[in-house]
Chain A
Amino acid sequence: MKAKAIAMVLVGGRGTRLQPITRRMAKPAVSFGGKYKLIDFVLSNLTNAAIDTVGVITQYEPHSLMDYIEHGSTWDLDLPDGGIHFLTPYTSYEGDVWQKGTAHAIRQHMRFIRSHDPEYVLILSGDHIYKMDYNHLIDVHAESGADFTISAFSPHDSLSRYGVLNVDDDNRVRDFEEKPKKPEGHYASMGVYVFNTEALKRILTDSLEEGFDFGKDIIPRALDEGYTINAYHFDGYFRDVGTIESLFEANMDLIDHPELLKLHDYKELPVYTRSSDLPPHHITTKEPLADVLIGDGCLVSGKIRRSILSNGVVVKDGAHVENSVLFQGATIGEGAVLKNAMILEDTLVMPGTELVYDEVEVIDNDRLWKLGGDGDA
């Protein structure tokens, strides 16, 4: 059966500004909110929209992500026809096809798109935090009669981080500029596109020699060449967490503004994540917990305020954790004090350690090793 829409998910982002979190993993594999990885949001949106043919285009550090997604059964995407396909860079007789940009990556896998021959192709990034009804996006796009639609939002921070759209009264995109110094317009591109398959084929065949990115190259040129481009206004919570600060902020949004992402109100648009096989967390003493999110398998006896404890975290007696995000498997020893700290996976904070900061700091075992060394010296 011919699919109405298939999705191409780009998961190759290196997340350079998220170092050291992304040292050993692609950005979509970064943990979020105590239980999730960034990729969960896109895959859950897809399964919630019953779009069940998904090409996951990998490049940078793909292994942890592939291990995590496995056959896609967590998102009901382990299907005999359709389901999840990992699309890896390959070499053919045409030469090296290492991906040079987002559009280039899609073009490289045109054969995959053709084999499914859908009406629409949804192009997504695997590292965004948002809950979205893709069917509505596709319906609005189909009605608009445009060649493709760019999903856009009003950012809470500076527009100049994003691709900025100038939109007329009919939601037609009139102008587009990637990361402008002086942005004109209100909407920023989310990097979420829906293309008529025919238009996608044409655009990518015509214009590949001149550029490789949708934002930087393809969209401006498509505008020049007279393609009709529609803007879809998404008014839900959307974050493209490019930096440590924005990742931390998005985590804290879950505590301070649970109404934004509505993680706890998840019956309609649930976010699926791989099950941990851990028992529920265990809180052993009567230390106060205030404004805290706690995942499975944690063992908590310290005092915790405005923090997120991911699966398998241990906080021992007398420890004091405030304004912090503890990634999976972190252990906080007796009497340690944490403030504005982001403790990465499996980090062991020795008893009595003080990690108190005014601005968020990322802590892992390497960093602690160095701190320890400094302390000794």
Chain B
Amino acid sequence: MRDLFAVVDASSRDNFEKLTLHRMPGALPFAGKFRLIDFTLSNLKHAHVTNVAIFPSGNYRSLQDHIGSGKRWHLDRRRDGLFILPPKNMMLPLGDMLTFQRMHEHIEYFRRSTQKYVLITQASLVWNVDFQAMLDAHVASQADISEVMTPYSRLKTFILSKDLLLKYILDYDALPYKTMNDLVWRSPKVRVNTITHEGYTRLIDEPSVYLRANLDMLAFEIGSTIFRNDRPIVSKEKTAPPARYSDASTVTNSMVSSGSYIRGHIEKSIIGRDVIIKEGAHVKNSFVMNNAVVERGAVLDHVILDKDTVVKADTIVEGTIDSPYVTEKGQIITDQSDLRVLIVASEANPYVKTGGLADVIEGLSRALSKKGVDTNVVIPLYKSIKDNYAETYQYVASETFDFGGEPRKIRIYTLLREKVRYYFIEYFPFFEREETYGYEDDCLRFAFFNYAVYQSFKHIGPFDLLHLNDWHTGLLPGLMQKSEDRIPTLLTIHNIDYQGQCDASLLHESRPNALIPTVNFLETGISEASKLSTVSETYRDELRYDYYGGSLTPLLLKRERDFHGVLNGLPKKYSPVNDPNVFSPYDRQSIGKKSENKLHLQEKMQLSLGVEKFTLGMVSRITEQKGFPILIPALSTMLERYKALQFVLLGSGEDRYIESLRELEKAHPGRVRLNIGFDAANPAHIYAGADAFLMPSRVEPCGLSQMIAMRYGTPPIARKTGGLADSIVDYDPITRYGTGFTFFNYDAEALAARIDDAYKVFHEHKDEWRRIMDAGMRADFSIERQAQKMLEIYQSMV
């Protein structure tokens, strides 16, 4: 086409974890022999578009390899052709969509393109469309911008004139919108036309959508509209002989690619090239990529088996359609039933708890145990545990070893709780104290704990894997590396702000060769552990920037390929129908009762009563990290603007913020209430009683409050960072779908604008507000899901 060129956005952040470790989403295999980007490139080819720019990010080698010169899509041109335009400023964080700023980095490309119109679309869309017809529709509409959508979802696909796009790009730093998505949504000035594409379309942005879309190809009425003779999907040319079936095979409703050899059973699955399925193996509801081998008797159900993976004989690998089991490229998966894991932490519920870590350890270990993993937890035997649980645990053994130049004797105790084996390590001088942490010799105490765990292996071992948590366990990876059996170690970073940094002289005797004056436990652990994880995928990505990762960023970047993000799960006890602290229990069916909780909250907090009020709740530590510097001005603006707005806060923290909040409380009697000190009221009253929940955090590695709020039908208004970005689906007025309201820029205006949006939906579109509440209550934040992801990492290590 003479008058259209295309910008293919392959830069958006994804949620694919391991699948995109070695490739970008656009390069993900699809339906056996294709890659996601083949669909968009083939659509462009059929529309005779000959000027295409791809904006990649991250590892685009495999994309480059796949596309080559673009010849297969007729893009190896003397004039125009294919351009791959990588990011220049690597410090710009990835967003939802290609930003005008990123386009500006390649402004020359846009200036030189001679076509009158530009199509902006995505590299990971599965569809078969006629772009020519879309351009005609756009021109006929006389709108500024046409947005291409399905009846249910946005596709980040737009058509506009090059001149208009150029204007936005050149103006990127002054424009209040960063992307086309933002612009179409928020700008009051542009005339937007919607082109609705009715045919099968999926924007592939996470593993469950990816697996589902693959399996959708098995439905004839879908597959035949995607793979059609008049507009075939063109891919890189590959060579493989026809697939081969032995007389032992059975196949039901499956797609199988060339070169594969099937001797086992396949049901409702997609099999890539050169896959071997051996006798007696069962593959169900799965996508098996190129060169994978499934050995005799193995069973796969809802699995995404990445390239070159080997599933050993008789191994059972299971996921669900919402949370498929995903392997890592080249992984060897063995039977998990005899996997023996030791989780090492400084605290675990119910024995000792100072923060969220204790809950995570308890929930995760129980869920792992349910999955058949032999799960063990070891923590120090603090005084409080002795005081409360002395009758429940039993003596295992004692061990004497040298630490700091003198012999030390530890005793090991154990108990079994809900199929999880707990071990406690007793050593009076370090752990027989009133508090858990906060002593001057904390470093020494936990250095000792690391050595003690190591020394206890002869009594409680052997283990296949150690799962370590935070700085308190940071020396174990190094100890394991030096030991003979070299057990693999996974170190999970829950909180990077606490690193266990101390003067080396403190440990001098235990580390006689230390040349560096300080020891940083977390840093040591990060550099020595076999694999790393943190508590959300977005936070993992954020740690690439020293704004978040601080001095550890360079080290984390170095360990990037071994660094995973797994969102923490929410324990089942958080449930508005079972929570004893909820005034009037309710569930999705009886959501009407939520207003009783609201009135109860208002009454209890001495707010003016009324269901028509828009009550914002917050349960938080009052610190800078939690976003109070932007919250206070935003609240004061919004309280002025809307008389029906209320704010209630439960928390404790820094005086400078509490003072400003007190002033707000004074200025807006009956509308702002503070409960300072965590005991003042029950958080459940706020989760159940508020209309929306505020979390404008600057940094939030995972966060549980937003998940609780959603489960209690209280949509969060939150900053798009860390676990908040991974758990909240931003409400989009165009598709009318979302589970909360998020904003990206850390400033008061952005927060105020989102409160404003929420306020308007709450008052003007009650049905939609209900839908947002309902979508949040249905969202899956289960610990099972977290445990499965952990298990996937475990299995890639042993």
A and B: bona fide binding partners: yes
Could you tell me which A residues sit within 8 Å of B by CB distance? 33-35, 73-74, 258, 263-264, 266, 270-275, 277-286, 288-297, 305, 308-310
Which residues of B, 36-86, contact A by the 8 Å Cβ criterion? 71
User: Which 9 residue pairs spanning A and B have beta carbons closest together?
Assistant: A290-B247, A34-B242, A280-B32, A280-B257, A263-B241, A275-B237, A293-B242, A277-B232, A279-B227
Alpha-carbon gap, A206 to B407, bound state (A): 100
Q: Which of A258, A266, A279 contacts B244 (CB 8 A)?
A: A258
Task: Say yes or no: B241 contacts A293, CB within 8 Å.
Answer: yes
Is chain B's binding surface mostly helix, strand, loop or mixed? loop
Set of chain B residues within 8 Å of A271, measured between Cβ atoms: 239, 241
Q: Cβ of B235 < 8 Å from any Cβ of A?
A: yes
B605 within 8 A of A: no
Q: How many residues of B contact A (CB 8 A)?
A: 39
Choose from A273, A292, A295, A310 the contact partner of B239 (Cβ within 8 Å): A273
Stretch at the interface among B248-256, B312-320, B608-616, B725-733: B248-256
Output the least CB separation between B297 and chain A (Å). Answer: 20
Residues of chain A within 8 A of B246, CB atoms compared: 290-291
The interface residues of chain A lying within 8 Å CB-to-CB of B233 are: 277, 279
Q: Which of B31, B240, B251, B261 has the most CB of A within 10 A?
A: B251
Answer whether A282 and B261 are a contact pair too, CB < 8 Å, given A35-B241, A289-B245: no
CB-contacts of B180-222 with A (<8 A)? 217-218, 220
Identity of the chain A residue whose Cβ is nearest the Cβ of B250 in the assembled complex: A286
**Docked CA distance A270–B217 (Å):** 29
A282 lies within 8 A of B254 (CB): yes
Q: B762 interface residue, CB < 8 Å from A?
A: no
Contact in complex: B256, A283 (CB < 8 Å): yes
| Contact assessment for A280 and B251 in the assembled complex, using a CB-CB cutoff below 8 Å | no
Q: How far is it, in angstroms, between the C-alpha of A62 and the C-alpha of B270 when the chains are bound?
A: 39
Q: State in angstroms the CA–CA spacing of A292 and B237 once bound together.
A: 24
B243 within 8 A of A: yes
Partner of B238, one of A275, A288, A305: A275
Q: A285-B253, A286-B251 are in contact. Are A280 and B223 (CB under 8 A)?
A: no
Please state if A294 and B245 are interface contacts (CB–CB under 8 Å): yes
Nearest B-chain residue to A289, judged by Cβ: B245
Residue of B nearest to A288 (CB): B250
Bound complex: CA A280 to CA B33 (Å) = 7
CA distance A279 to B218 in the complex (A): 11
Q: List 16 A-B contacts (CB under 8 A).
A: A33-B241, A35-B241, A73-B237, A264-B241, A266-B259, A275-B235, A275-B237, A277-B233, A278-B232, A280-B243, A288-B247, A290-B246, A291-B245, A291-B247, A296-B33, A296-B258
Assess whether A281 is in contact with B259, with CB atoms less than 8 Å apart.
Answer: no
Contact (A283, B242) CB under 8 Å given A74-B237, A278-B227, A296-B258: no
Bound-state Cα–Cα, A333 to B233, Å: 27
Chain B residue, CB-CB nearest to A44 = B239
Chain B CB within 10 Å, residue with most, of A293, A297, A309: A293
Name B218's closest neighbour in chain A (CB-CB). A282
Q: CB distance A294 to B239 under 8 Å? A: no
Shortest beta-carbon distance from B244 to chain A in Å = 5
The one of B223, B237, B258 in contact with A282, judged by C-beta atoms closer than 8 angstroms, is: B223
Inside 8 A of A279's CB, which chain B residues have their CB? 31-34, 217, 223, 227, 233, 255
Other A-B contacts than A35-B241, A278-B227, A282-B220, 12 sampled, CB-CB below 8 A, are A34-B241, A264-B259, A271-B239, A272-B239, A278-B232, A280-B271, A282-B254, A283-B255, A283-B256, A286-B252, A289-B251, A292-B244
- Whole-angstrom distance between the alpha carbons of A35 and B223 in the complex? 22
- Chain A residues, CB < 8 A from B34: 279
> Within B742-796, which residues are at the interface with A (CB < 8 Å)?
none
In the assembled complex, which residues on chain A have CB atoms less than 8 Å from the CB atom of B241? 33-35, 263-264, 266, 271, 293
B361 contacts the other chain (Cβ, under 8 Å)?
no
Contacts of A73 in B (CB 8 A): 71, 237
Q: Least Cβ distance of A37 to chain B in Å? A: 13
CA distance A295 to B239 in the complex (A): 12
Q: Which residue of B lies closest to A281 (CB)?
A: B256
- Of the residues B220, B235, B261, contact of A264 by C-beta under 8 Å: B261
Q: For the complex formed, measure the closest distance between the CB of B220 and the CB atoms of chain A, giving whole angstroms.
A: 8
Contact residues in A for B223 (Cβ distance below 8 Å): 279, 282
Interface centre among B220, B255, B271 (most CB of A within 10 A): B255
